[in-house]
Amino acid sequence: MDYTDILISVRKIARAINLDSKRIQKESGFSIPQLLTLTYLGQCENYESSQLELRKYLQLNSSTVTGIISRLIAKGFVAKLPKKEDKRSTWICLTASGLTQLDLAPALFQERLANKLDQLSDKEVKQIEKGLKKLINLLGDDELSGAVQS
């Protein structure tokens, strides 16, 4: 059996994500993880989150999230504030400047895809989900989802 069509489709998806990442960087000056961080904080109660919650949302390791946060702090878009109940811990908070930047940011690939998925039937969405989960398992689930560890 020839799997060329499947491989080409996977490459097209990867290319679309890569091109969107470059477009976002060019238009906004943010990397996708930085923009996802701002988006997540924008959806959180009081625009704040723990680094652990943010890390789980982004599915990235601790050192990568620390780098993202450090760059956003340097730009003035997020701040670290001590937790009231435990001064040793901090909240990552979206600043007013970060909220403004978030409002100006272009739509992400995943937002546009979600809008298109909304137009499909539940059965079609479940079929896509099932196929993607199978593909992820074939590619090695450990490699694709293991980034959350540490």
How far is the C-alpha of 132 from the C-alpha of 41, rounded, in Å? 28
Model confidence at 147: pLDDT above 70: no
Asked whether the beta carbons of 58 and 40 are under 8 A apart, the reply is yes
Model confidence at 53: pLDDT above 90: yes
Tell me what pLDDT residue 149 has. Answer: 40
Tell me what pLDDT residue 92 has. Answer: 95
**What's the angle, vertex CA 20, arms to CA 38 and CA 28, rounded to 5?**
45
The per-residue b/e assignment along 101-140, b for 16 or more CB within 10 angstroms, e otherwise, is: bbeebeebbeeeeeeeeeeeeeeeeeeeeeeeeeeeeeee
For the residues 25-52, what does the mean pLDDT come to? 93
Tell me what pLDDT residue 145 has. Answer: 52
- Is 72 exposed, middle or buried, given 0-12, 13-18 or 19+ CB atoms closer than 10 A? buried
* Residue with more model confidence, 109 or 55: 55
Query: Each residue of 73-118: pLDDT tens digit?
Result: 999 999 999 877 777 778 999 999 999 999 998 888 888 899 999 9
Q: How confident is the model at residue 3 (pLDDT cuts 50, 70, 90)?
A: confident
* Pairing of the two strands 48-49 and 90-94: antiparallel
Model confidence at 136: pLDDT above 50: yes
How far is the C-alpha of 61 from the C-alpha of 59, rounded, in Å? 7
